[in-house]
Amino acid sequence: MSDGHGRTRLLFISPLPRGARAVHHQRGNPMQRLTLLLSLLLALAVLAAAAGPAGEAASSPDQDFVLPQPVEPLPEPLATAVAGIGAPALAAHIRLLASPSLEGRGLGDRGLDAALEYVAASLELAGIAPPSGGDPSGGAAAHFQVVPLREISGQQGGVTVVRQSDDQTWSRSFALGVDCLLPYLAPQTITAPVVFAGYGIREPGLGHDDYQGLDVRGRIVLLFAGLPDGPQWQTKELTGRWNAEDGDDRYSARLGLARELGASAVVAIEREDWLKKLEDGREAMARFFLPFDAAAAAGEGPPLAVASAAVAEALLGADALTGSAVPAVPHGLLPGISATISASGSERVFDSRNVLGVIPGADPALRDEVVMIGAHLDHLGRSGDVIFPGADDNASGSAALLEIAKAFAASPARPKRTLAFAFWTGEEEGKFGSGHYCRHPVWPLERTTYLNLDMIGHPWLPEEIAKLVADSGLQQGGDALAAMAPADFIELGLPAGLPELDAALRRAAIANGLALHFDRTHGKFGGSDYRDFARAGVPFIRFFGNFHPGYHEPSDTGEALDAAQVQRVARLALATAWLLADR
Predicted confidence at residue 501, as pLDDT, reads 98
Over residues 64-87, mean pLDDT: 94
Provide the mean pLDDT of the chain.
86
Q: Check if the beta carbon of residue 567 is closer than 8 Å to that of residue 575.
A: no
Please check the confidence at residue 55 and state whether its pLDDT lies above 90.
no
Predicted confidence at residue 223, as pLDDT, reads 96
Burial of 59 (0-12, 13-18, 19+ CB in 10 A): middle
- pTM for the model: 0.84
Angle between helices 87-97 and 563-581 (to 10 degrees): 110
Over residues 59-81, mean pLDDT: 88
Nearest by Cα to 190 from 312, 344, 294? 344
Over residues 548-556, mean pLDDT: 93
Name every residue whose Cβ is closer than 8 Å to that of residue 317 and which is 6 or more positions away in sequence: none
pLDDT > 90: what percent of the chain? 68
C-alpha 553/C-alpha 426 separation (Å) is: 18
pLDDT > 70: what percent of the chain? 85
Residue with the bigger pLDDT between 6 and 414: it is 414
Predicted confidence at residue 440, as pLDDT, reads 96
Angle between helices 563-581 and 499-511 (to 10 degrees): 130
Please check the confidence at residue 275 and state whether its pLDDT lies above 80.
no
Amino acid at 431: K
Please check the confidence at residue 526 and state whether its pLDDT lies above 70.
yes
Over residues 480-496, mean pLDDT: 91
Length of the chain: 583
Q: Check if the beta carbon of residue 302 is closer than 8 Å to that of residue 263.
A: yes
| pLDDT band with cut points at 50, 70 and 90 for residue 301 | confident
3-state helix, strand, coil in the chain (%, to 5): 35, 25, 40
C-alpha 190/C-alpha 276 separation (Å) is: 26
C-alpha 432/C-alpha 186 separation (Å) is: 16
Predicted confidence at residue 39, as pLDDT, reads 39
Predicted confidence at residue 322, as pLDDT, reads 66
C-alpha 330/C-alpha 187 separation (Å) is: 33
Amino acid at 223: L
Q: Check if the beta carbon of residue 82 is closer than 8 Å to that of residue 576.
A: no
Please check the confidence at residue 263 and state whether its pLDDT lies above 60.
yes
Over residues 311-321, mean pLDDT: 86
Q: Per-residue DSSP letters for 64-107?
A: GEE------PPPTTHHHHHHT--HHHHHHHHHHHTSGGGGGGBT
C-alpha 357/C-alpha 143 separation (Å) is: 6
Q: Per-residue DSSP letters for 227-260?
A: --SSGGG-SHHHHHHHS-SSTTTTTHHHHHHHHH
Over residues 364-378, mean pLDDT: 98
Contacts by 537-540, CB closer than 8 A, 24 or more apart: 537/7, 537/8, 537/9, 537/10, 537/445, 537/446, 538/445, 538/448, 538/449, 538/450, 539/10, 539/449, 539/450, 539/494, 539/495, 539/498, 539/501, 540/449, 540/450, 540/451, 540/452, 540/494, 540/495
Nearest by Cα to 429 from 196, 198, 152? 152
| pLDDT band with cut points at 50, 70 and 90 for residue 297 | confident
C-alpha 407/C-alpha 122 separation (Å) is: 12
Name every residue whose Cβ is closer than 8 Å to that of residue 45 and which is 6 or more positions away in sequence: none
C-alpha 194/C-alpha 159 separation (Å) is: 12
Q: Check if the beta carbon of residue 565 is closer than 8 Å to that of residue 36.
A: no
Over residues 528-536, mean pLDDT: 96
Please check the confidence at residue 11 and state whether its pLDDT lies above 90.
no
Q: Check if the beta carbon of residue 240 is closer than 8 Å to that of residue 203.
A: no
Q: Check if the beta carbon of residue 511 is closer than 8 Å to that of residue 72.
A: yes
* Torsion, Cα of 475, 479, 482, 484 (10° steps): -120
Name every residue whose Cβ is closer than 8 Å to that of residue 231 and which is 6 or more positions away in sequence: none
**At 522, is the secondary structure helix, strand, or coil?**
coil
User: Strands, E, within 100-139: which ranges?
Assistant: none
Over residues 264-291, mean pLDDT: 74
* Least confident piece of the model among 130-134, 166-170, 466-470: 130-134
Over residues 517-527, mean pLDDT: 90
Predicted confidence at residue 324, as pLDDT, reads 60
Please check the confidence at residue 155 and state whether its pLDDT lies above 70.
yes
Predicted confidence at residue 6, as pLDDT, reads 35
